[in-house]
């Protein structure tokens, strides 16, 4: 039995907690949040203990720590966890700064623990399929790759650039990781961003030049009220491959309220598969611990994505072309 402790029980942390609780051979033993009420709400349905301080999550009965806090404190928790000999699952982005990323990688290596970073697109079937088709050459030589990730500004600490890194570090790092995973490092980067508009909104237009003529464009929006959506379009000498999450919706539900008014909120599954990519990544982390193998996304991968996202942010902030690879 692998006992995990969840650190940070906001919306995403509670989701991970529920996911881990469903995995055979895994138990959510303890949860911790700086807001005790949040921790209690998360712990209660799972029968988990509430830790009154983070140190209790490092006790001998815990095997792994799941870090789902605001980004700027990821490094602190990850390093303490590694030093206590705990395996780590950390939400993306792995850290707020590259220096912190280096420290985390070092601490994990020194402690000989396993670490996985939540770059969840690697477990989304539409993104997996697109990567596979590129690598099998089904699109020929790839020209333009357009990717978009559109949402409202989430509020709270996300609106604080020094804490979250804005839409570039927090959200479209998903797409950056997919590009790194699929194509390797870009040769150069140029980006524009509206980070100065935070906390009202953020928006980014990012260009990447990869070897062999491939150009990637990533649009990230925290300025859209029409609901979360993602899309990509990959064009090559042998074809065009396109995805739009709003056009792959397999279930839409509407609830009628007490007053017979239709509740306009629709349920959009992220993917028409039985397991969400979030569930899959959590299961793969536990499987890596059980089988003593490397997790599918490592601390080094997490560092690569942070490094690229910070270069994009630097380009946007300095209005300069960054020669990268």
Q: Which residues bind other proteins (CB under 8 A)?
A: 141-144, 146, 190-194, 197, 200-201, 203, 205, 207, 209, 213-215, 217, 219, 221, 223-224, 235-237, 239-240, 319-321
Say what angle helices 11-22 and 277-291 make with each other, to 10 degrees.
50
Of residues 76 and 219, the one with the C-beta less far from other proteins: 219
d(CA 233, CA 168): 20
Query: Which of 37, 200 has the CB closer to other proteins?
Result: 200
Cβ proximity to other proteins, 47 vs 211, nearer residue: 211
| β-strand pairing of 322-323 with 142-151 | unpaired
Tokens 């949860």 correspond to what residue? 31
Angle, helices 173-183 vs 125-135, to 10°: value is: 30
Shortest CB 309 distance to other proteins, Å: 18
Nearer to other proteins, 104 or 204 (CB): 204
- What's the min distance (Å) between Cβ of 156 and other proteins? 21
State the nearest-atom distance from the C-beta of 95 to other proteins, in Å. 27
Coil vs helix vs strand at 48 = coil
Phi-psi map region of 316: left, alpha, beta (phi>0 left; psi -120 to 50 alpha): alpha
> Least separation, in Å, of the C-beta of 51 and other proteins?
42
> What Cα–Cα distance (Å) separates residue 90 from each residue in 45, 66, 95, 207, 295?
23, 6, 9, 27, 12
Least separation in angstroms between residue 195's CB and other proteins is 11
For other proteins, the closer CB: 93 or 236: 236
Does an H or E element contain 246, and which? Answer: none
Beta carbon of residue 161, minimum distance to other proteins (angstroms, whole number): 16
- In the complex with other proteins, the residue whose CB is nearer, 240 or 253, is 240
């Amino acid at each position: 039995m692998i006992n995990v402790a969840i650190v940070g029980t906001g919306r995403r942390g509670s989701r991970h907690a529920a996911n881990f609780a469903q995995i055979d051979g895994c138990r959510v033993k303890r949860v911790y949040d700086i807001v005790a009420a949040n921790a209690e709400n998360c712990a209660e349905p799972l029968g988990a203990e509430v830790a009154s301080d983070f140190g209790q999550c490092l006790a001998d009965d815990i095997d792994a720590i799941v870090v789902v806090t605001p980004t700027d404190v990821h490094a602190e928790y990850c390093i303490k966890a590694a030093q206590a000999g705990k395996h780590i699952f950390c939400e993306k982005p792995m850290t707020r700064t590259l220096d912190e990323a280096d420290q985390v990688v070092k601490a994990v290596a020194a402690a000989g623990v396993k670490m996985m970073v939540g770059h969840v697109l690697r477990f989304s079937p539409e993104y997996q399929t697109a990567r596979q088709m590129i690598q099998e050459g089904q699109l020929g030589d790839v020209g333009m790759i357009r990717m978009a990730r559109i949402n409202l500004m989430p509020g709270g600490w996300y609106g604080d650039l020094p804490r979250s890194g804005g839409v570039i570090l927090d959200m479209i790092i998903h797409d950056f990781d997919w590009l790194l995973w699929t194509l390797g490092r870009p040769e150069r980067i140029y980006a524009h961003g509206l980070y100065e508009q935070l906390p009202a909104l953020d928006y980014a237009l990012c260009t990447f030049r990869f070897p062999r003529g491939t150009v990637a464009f990533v649009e990230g929006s925290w300025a859209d009220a029409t609901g979360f959506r993602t899309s990509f379009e990959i064009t090559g000498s042998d074809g065009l491959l396109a995805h739009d999450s709003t056009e792959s919706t397999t279930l839409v539900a509407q609830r009628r309220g007490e007053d017979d008014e239709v509740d306009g909120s629709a349920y959009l599954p992220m993917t028409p598969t039985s397991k969400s990519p979030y569930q899959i990544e959590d299961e793969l982390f536990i499987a890596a611990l059980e089988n003593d193998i490397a997790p599918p996304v490592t601390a080094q991968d997490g560092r690569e994505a942070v490094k690229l996202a910070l270069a994009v942010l630097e380009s946007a902030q300095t209005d300069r072309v960054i020669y990268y690879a």
